[in-house]
């Protein structure tokens, strides 16, 4: 990948906004990790780190922790290093470019592995889970966080005179996801257990922000809906395309940034397991 490209810039923006919106969720999850770990972890892996939502949530909660962030994108890792430097955390962060569908680099004993929204992208997640188990010391924890669905932002009955707009868009997304991401929505607890872990927590965690939303959440909704518009445009009828155009047009009276009924509704599938 080139050292800089606009596609990476756009994805980095989405990931940074996602991290900001999910900050309370990540803080609560770090608390649960601390309870299960007992002794605070000293070394962690962030697998498929993106721009570092997991890395920074863990560093904030565990003052003695050092994190190695692995990602296949050089752009994402550079972005993460820049954020670490800005926050005075560069000395506690290492990065390594790695494809999680390939054997992990030799890292020695690791106390904690964090994999957020990365497992479902893999061609062979079961092989990757066995690799993660080998990287962890006995008793080390794996924290796997997976999406259940794309976030929702609009009330069903007030979508610019187009009730059910998000339902129709999500149906298209789900169909395409099934074609390209066959592991999305997998029974991760079962697969993690089969890879040599004892599952200690498995639950669906709802995340809901209600109006008035903070500015970052409004921007998150606008960026996400713009992405949906582009990815589904060829499958939508003319009225639905026009409705989405209005939502992401900052000058429209119906624009996301002008709506008082905007929410963020999503959930995460959380599995915490201990290496046997």
- Residues whose CB falls within 8 Å of the CB of residue 82, separated by 6 or more in sequence, listed in order: none
Q: Going by C-beta distance under 8 Å and a sequence separation of 6 or more, which residues neighbour residue 259?
A: none
Give the phi and the psi of residue 126 in degrees, each rounded to 5.
-65, -40
CB–CB of 192/131 below 8 Å? no
Scanning the structure block, which residue is given the tokens 């794309």? 150
Percentage, residues of the chain above pLDDT 90: 82
Rounded to whole angstroms, what are the CA distances from 42 to 47, 137, 197, 271?
16, 12, 20, 21
Confidence class for position 241, pLDDT limits 50, 70, 90: very high
pLDDT at residue number 122:
97
Q: How many helices (H) and strands (E) does the chain have?
A: 9, 7
* DSSP 8-state symbol, 42: S
Q: What is the pLDDT of residues 103-121, one digit of tens each?
A: 998 887 899 999 999 999 9
Sign of the alpha-carbon dihedral angle for 21, 23, 28, 34? positive
The mean pLDDT value of the chain amounts to 92
Whether 254 shows a pLDDT value over 90: the answer reads no
pTM of the predicted structure, to 2 decimals = 0.93
Region 146-168 average pLDDT: 83
* Contacts of 220 by beta carbon, 8 Å cutoff, 6+ apart: 14, 17, 18, 20, 21, 151, 264
Residue 6 pLDDT class (50, 70, 90 cuts): very low
Tokens of 196: 């040599």
- pLDDT for the residue numbered 158: 60
Is residue 121 within 8 Å of 73, Cβ to Cβ? no
Residue 9: the pLDDT is: 65
pLDDT over threshold 50, residue 12: yes
Angle at 104 (CA atoms; ends 102, 106), nearest 5 degrees: 145
Would you list the domain boundaries of the chain? 1-148+185-209+265-276, 155-181+212-260
**Where does the chain show beta strands of DSSP type E?**
43-47, 66-71, 93-97, 110-116, 136-147, 197-209, 264-275
Rounded distance, CA 217 to CA 202, Å? 27
Predicted confidence (pLDDT) per residue in 44-98, tens digit: 999 999 999 999 999 999 999 999 999 999 999 999 999 999 999 999 999 999 9
Positive or negative: CA dihedral 200, 202, 208, 214: positive
Residue 132 φ/ψ, nearest 5 degrees: -65, -45
CATH for 1-148+185-209+265-276 is 3.40.50.150
Query: What is the share, in percent, of the chain residues with pLDDT greater than 70?
Result: 95
- DSSP secondary structure, 110-163, as one string: EEEEEEES-GGG-S-HHHHHHHHHHHEEEEEEEEEEEESS--B-S-TT-STT-T
Nearest to 240 by CA among 167, 155, 153: 167
The residue that leads in pLDDT, 56 or 231, is 56
């Amino acid at each position: 990948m080139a050292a800089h490209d606009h596609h990476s810039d756009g994805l980095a923006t989405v990931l940074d906004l996602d991290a900001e919106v999910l900050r309370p969720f990540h803080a609560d999850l770090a608390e649960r990790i601390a309870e299960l770990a007992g002794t605070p972890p000293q070394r962690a892996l962030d697998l498929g780190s993106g721009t570092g939502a997991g890395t920074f949530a863990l560093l904030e909660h565990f003052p003695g922790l050092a994190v190695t962030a692995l990602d296949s994108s050089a752009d994402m890792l550079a972005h993460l290093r820049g954020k670490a430097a800005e926050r005075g955390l560069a000395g506690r962060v290492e990065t390594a470019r790695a494809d999680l569908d390939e054997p992990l680099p030799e890292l020695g004993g690791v106390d904690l592995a964090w994999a957020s929204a990365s497992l479902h992208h893999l061609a062979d997640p079961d092989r990757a889970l066995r690799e993660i188990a080998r990287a962890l010391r006995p008793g080390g924890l794996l924290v796997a966080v997976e999406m259940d669905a794309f976030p929702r932002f609009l009330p069903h009955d007030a979508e610019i005179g187009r009730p059910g707009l998000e339902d129709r868009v999500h149906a298209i997304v789900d169909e395409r996801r099934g074609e390209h991401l066959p592991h999305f929505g997998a029974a991760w607890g079962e697969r993690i257990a089969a890879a040599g872990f004892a599952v200690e927590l498995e639950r669906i965690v709802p995340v809901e922000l209600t109006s008035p939303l903070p500015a970052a959440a409004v921007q998150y909704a606008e960026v996400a809906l713009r992405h949906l518009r582009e990815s589904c445009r060829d499958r939508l009828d003319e009225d639905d395309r026009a409705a989405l155009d209005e939502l992401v047009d900052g000058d429209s009276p119906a624009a996301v940034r002008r709506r008082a009924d905007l929410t963020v509704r999503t959930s995460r599938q959380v599995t915490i397991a201990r290496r046997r």
